[in-house]
């Protein structure tokens, strides 16, 4: 008998895994305890600083390995919530709490399906594995650590990543190229500003021109949607009565499949050079973080079978970043499919529909039974 997915979600939300610092080991241990109650033994894979992955599997054979994957950490729960973000609240068919949709609801649904199918382990032609990782919201150390120690022995290595897609199969996801843009000016007394070069004024012009850059990006239409750009941080100034020498902007540039990170960096530099007023300052664009977009080959038999299972015809993109690209590069055919909407992720009063949690369990169980009971003919 599978556990109640609503109660599981409530339990997972109650363990604070805000990253940083994460402390995902606390949640990994709690999940291992729950699995143990159902006769399943999990491995805690430590990555340091009270951060850890959780791995649990059953089944046998070397034909197909199906991984149900998600991340244990969440973003911070700042702002004025209507209810305690770590004490899940249910109202009008929705469960509220930090991580409800991103992605403790997905983890709970995967756990419920995994536990529910465990009595059939001897009849499965292949391996089912839970892989819940740390540090997805920051530096992806959990997924990279897992892959560095992964010993794949199956011919077909498949993965479902339970990010919130509204229970639609996504074959791709957006990437991110992030930059610090440094403005360097010349100091002067604030009573004689004309003798200096004001880095904050230059930064203001750069920020304004990058808004125009965002609108230009939105006009680029691809089968996966449009890229974007947003200034998300600003730091500057040295003293109240001095013309600022330094000011920095942080740019978050989201990429669609097919865009190259190096070309994006050049594009940002060229856009600023041709559209911003430097007010006598100099400007440098420093790469800070690069996260490639993901795309599963549309010829993948797994993609076709996944869409068939959920009754879907079209290829969809997950309009945010996730770890699909990392796992594809690590040898897995990976799709993104989970309960909830990405529109609620990282927001105050984040929620997941209870109905989607229940449906997600059924879908994940279908993936296990169809892909492993019929592994010899399911994906070719």
Q: What share of the chain is helix, strand, coil (3-state, %, to 5)?
A: 35, 30, 35
Q: Is the pLDDT of residue 3 over 50?
A: yes
pLDDT, averaged across the chain:
95
Lowest mean pLDDT among 158-167, 311-320, 366-375: 366-375
pLDDT at residue 377, as a whole number: 41
What is the β-pairing status of strands 170-173 and 294-295?
antiparallel
pLDDT tens column, 81-103: 999 999 999 999 999 999 999 99
Q: How far apart are CA 257 and CA 292, in angstroms?
A: 8
Query: What length does the chain have?
Result: 380
**Banded pLDDT at 380 (limits 50, 70, 90):** very low
**Model pTM score:** 0.89
pLDDT tens column, 336-356: 999 999 999 999 999 999 999
Considering the chain, tell me which residue range(s) the CATH 3.30.70.360 domain(s) occupy. Answer: 175-289
pLDDT at residue 152, as a whole number: 82
Biggest alpha carbon–alpha carbon distance for the chain: 82
What is the CATH class of 175-289?
alpha beta
pLDDT tens column, 236-271: 999 999 999 999 999 999 999 999 999 999 999 999
Considering the chain, tell me which residue range(s) the CATH 3.40.630.10 domain(s) occupy. Answer: 5-173+293-373
CATH code: domain 5-173+293-373 is 3.40.630.10
Type and span of the H or E element at 265: helix 261-275
**Banded pLDDT at 61 (limits 50, 70, 90):** confident
Burial (Cβ within 10 Å: 0-12, 13-18, ≥19) of residue 112: buried
Q: How far apart are CA 125 and CA 30, in angstroms?
A: 29
Residue with the two structure tokens 């997805």 = 136
**Banded pLDDT at 376 (limits 50, 70, 90):** very low
Query: Which of 111, 155, 128 lies closest to 58 in space, CA to CA?
Result: 128
Q: Is the pLDDT of residue 77 over 50?
A: yes
Q: Is the pLDDT of residue 151 over 90?
A: no
**Spatial contact of 265 and 287, defined as CB atoms under 8 Å apart:** yes
**Banded pLDDT at 298 (limits 50, 70, 90):** confident
pLDDT tens column, 113-146: 999 999 999 999 999 999 999 999 999 999 999 9
Query: Which of 259, 352, 298, 347 lies closest to 169 in space, CA to CA?
Result: 298
| Number of CB atoms found within 10 A of residue 108's CB | 32
Q: Is the pLDDT of residue 299 over 90?
A: no
Instruction: Output phi, psi for 221, to 5 deg.
Output: -100, 125
Q: How far apart are CA 108 and CA 135, in angstroms?
A: 18
pLDDT at residue 153, as a whole number: 83
pLDDT tens column, 10-29: 999 999 999 999 999 999 99
pLDDT at residue 69, as a whole number: 98
Angle, CA of 95, 96 and 98, to the nearest 5°: 125
């Amino acid at each position: 008998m599978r556990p109640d997915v609503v109660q599981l979600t409530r339990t997972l939300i109650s363990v604070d895994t805000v990253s940083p610092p994460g402390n995902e080991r606390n949640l990994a241990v709690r999940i291992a305890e729950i699995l143990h109650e159902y006769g399943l033994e999990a491995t805690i894979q430590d990555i340091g600083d009270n951060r850890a992955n959780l791995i649990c599997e059953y089944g046998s054979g070397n034909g197909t390995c199906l991984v149900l994957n998600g991340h244990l950490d969440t973003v911070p729960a700042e702002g004025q919530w209507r209810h305690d973000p770590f004490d899940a609240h249910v109202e009008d068919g929705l469960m509220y709490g930090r991580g409800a949709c991103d992605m403790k609801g997905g983890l709970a649904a995967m756990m419920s399906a995994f536990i529910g199918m465990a009595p059939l382990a001897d009849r499965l032609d292949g391996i089912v594995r839970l892989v819940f990782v740390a540090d997805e919201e920051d530096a992806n150390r959990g997924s990279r650590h897992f892959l560095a120690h992964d010993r794949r022995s199956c011919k077909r290595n498949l993965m479902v990543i339970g990010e919130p897609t509204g229970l639609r199969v996504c074959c791709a996801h957006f990437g991110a190229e992030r930059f610090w843009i440094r403005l360097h000016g010349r100091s002067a007394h604030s009573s004689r500003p004309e003798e200096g070069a004001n880095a904050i004024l230059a930064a203001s012009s750069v920020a304004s021109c990058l808004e125009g850059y965002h609108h230009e990006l939105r006009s680029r239409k691809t089968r996966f949607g449009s890229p974007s750009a947003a200034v998300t941080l600003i730091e500057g100034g040295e003293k109240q009565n001095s013309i600022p020498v330094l000011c920095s902007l942080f740019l978050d540039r989201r990429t669609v499949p097919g865009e190259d990170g190096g070309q994006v960096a050049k594009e940002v530099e060229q856009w600023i050079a041709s559209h911003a007023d430097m007010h006598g300052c100099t400007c440098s664009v420093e790469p800070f973080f690069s996260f490639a977009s993901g795309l599963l080959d549309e010829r993948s038999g797994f993609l076709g079978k996944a869409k068939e299972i959920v009754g879907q015809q079209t290829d969809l993109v997950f309009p945010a970043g996730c770890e699909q690209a990392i796992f594809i590069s690590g040898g897995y055919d990976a799709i993104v499919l989970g309960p909830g909407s990405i529109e609620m992720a990282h927001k105050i009063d984040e929620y997941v529909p209870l109905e989607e949690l229940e449906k997600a369990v059924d879908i994940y169980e279908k993936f296990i039974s169809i892909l492993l009971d019929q592994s010899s003919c399911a994906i070719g």
